[in-house]
Structure 1
């Protein structure tokens, strides 16, 4: 990544975190200077000099910039580690406020009674990882997970599986022996196996740019299936809940392919 691209990306991320364009540009500019005046900052950021003062005042109020009231005034960014922690705290506070506000607003319609069988689509690596962890943490009886991509064996996923109640059976399969060994080392208390689902592995004879990412079945009721686009590494998934029927029995048997019957905690009940 070139310097110009890095500066552009840093500016865009700061805007996504809530700063306005000139504020983001001024902070990025100051992060490259030990100290700077409005004139110097304007020259390296292309922010109009008169707008530099407004942007710096906002940054100071947020604890991201320090001002020396000399003539001319001198500005400097707080240390990068400190700035990162400040931005993270602000972002988390906003997310928490959002959650509180939406929870307080409540539902616009009453909840339906009884389980509903439904299937939904979801896109985005983070969103799918979060949904998978949520399903896992809510498990009461059993988690069956098959991974088709080593990159999906994240610390957060391992933590979610490790922290489950000991009464929950955890079965984790992999498409290759090497991945199965990594899973076993990360989850020594789980039942691990090499999946017998050959179609989960990339098939050279097929012109298909998708590979299976993860297959997840929780409590024989909630299921999530994802694919990964090799070039972009973007994950897409479908998931559903409320199932207690023959479809889940078939799905469970498929996911357990490669697992020796004797090692299956619950069998195919």
Structure 2
């Protein structure tokens, strides 16, 4: 690897250009003063002091307080550990900030009312994510076995095991067998039920709802809308709860004539 490649790689790890050039020069020198480092690195001597002191603060360089000052790099193993730890801290900080921004965005979405999602995979992820927020109840309408991904199925089971009242509504009898040993309620809509499934649906805590339908324009396989804590969400939730109750009565044979 050339000096330029080494400098570029260190920049990717978070060092400034001057810091990277000074650190690479010290690898060649073993130790040196600002003057000798400047000669090897081609960093102006006035800038070497700042770069070397910054490297020292990062734990990558040792400083000997002599006249003039001399600088010595820490071992490559120690440098690797320091840079890896820094990257991990920055990664955590970045995702903590993204988490906060996502929470703010979720609040904004609730205020706006309805959000749309396009594409099967993003919708699968949204369904699983909304299921994870359930505190009391969750109803998922899965017309077919293929309506459930492994993640969705696992989340349904985990939430039911955690005390959430979970109901799965389907036209696929095999799903009743699949969840026979799990603490969730499965409603299988029979052939005598006049209700047709338009697509997948999710209701969480009576206030969050997602409706997904297959598309026929070929651009995406599925598209959905979802809303939380909004007037339209509560209205749609009432329709969904009414339909589910009708299905439950038909399943038990208690439906009115």
TM-score by length of 2: 0.49
TM-score by length of 1: 0.47
Question: Which protein has the larger Cα radius of gyration, Structure 1 or Structure 2?
Answer: 2
Larger proportion of helix: 2
